[in-house]
């Protein structure tokens, strides 16, 4: 049992507070960046930049705050499969809605 317990502690990766602080600061910086960018006129690029920054922030949260970077392959596969399925659902829905009126004008 003691061998097992030792094995468990070895397996369970503890993310250090240093990593959390760095990610926290990065998230704060990206938040200021996205708010600052919204005050600049960039036309079509305003939403693209805003969503791009949001995706980077979400990836940072998932990888480090949610420990996916240090997780098992099963967890990584689950997250990846979920995001993939989500994009298929959104992609097909948008493909439908945005092409309904094609050729009718």
Minimum distance of another protein from residue 103's CB (angstroms): 18
3-state secondary structure of 71: coil
User: Contact between 102 and another protein (CB under 8 A)?
Assistant: no
Strands (E), 9-69: none
User: Contact between 39 and another protein (CB under 8 A)?
Assistant: yes
Task: Compute the distance between CA of residue 99 and CA of residue 70 in angstroms, rounded to an integer.
Answer: 42
Task: Compute the distance between CA of residue 45 and CA of residue 53 in angstroms, rounded to an integer.
Answer: 12
Q: How far is CA 72 from the centre of its chain?
A: 18
Here's the x/- map for another protein, 46-85, by CB under 8 A: it reads as xx--xx-xx--xx--xx-xxxx---xx-xx--xx--xx-x
User: Contact between 33 and another protein (CB under 8 A)?
Assistant: no
The answer to whether 31 and 24 are in contact (CB under 8 A) is no
Return residues touching another protein (CB under 8 A).
Answer: 1, 4-5, 7-8, 11-12, 14-17, 20-21, 23-24, 27-28, 31, 34-35, 37-39, 41-43, 46-47, 50-51, 53-54, 57-58, 61-62, 64-67, 71-72, 74-75, 78-79, 82-83, 85-86, 89-90, 93-94, 97-98
């Amino acid at each position: 049992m003691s061998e097992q317990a030792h094995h468990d502690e070895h397996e369970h990766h503890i993310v250090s507070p240093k990593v959390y602080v760095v990610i926290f600061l990065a998230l704060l910086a990206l938040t200021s960046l996205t708010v600052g960018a919204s005050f600049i006129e960039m036309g079509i690029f305003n939403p693209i930049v805003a969503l791009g920054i949001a995706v980077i922030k979400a990836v940072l949260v998932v990888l480090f705050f949610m420990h996916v970077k240090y997780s098992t392959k099963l967890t990584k596969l689950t997250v990846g499969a979920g995001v993939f399925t989500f994009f298929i659902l959104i992609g097909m829905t948008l493909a439908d809605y945005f092409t309904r009126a094609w050729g009718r004008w």
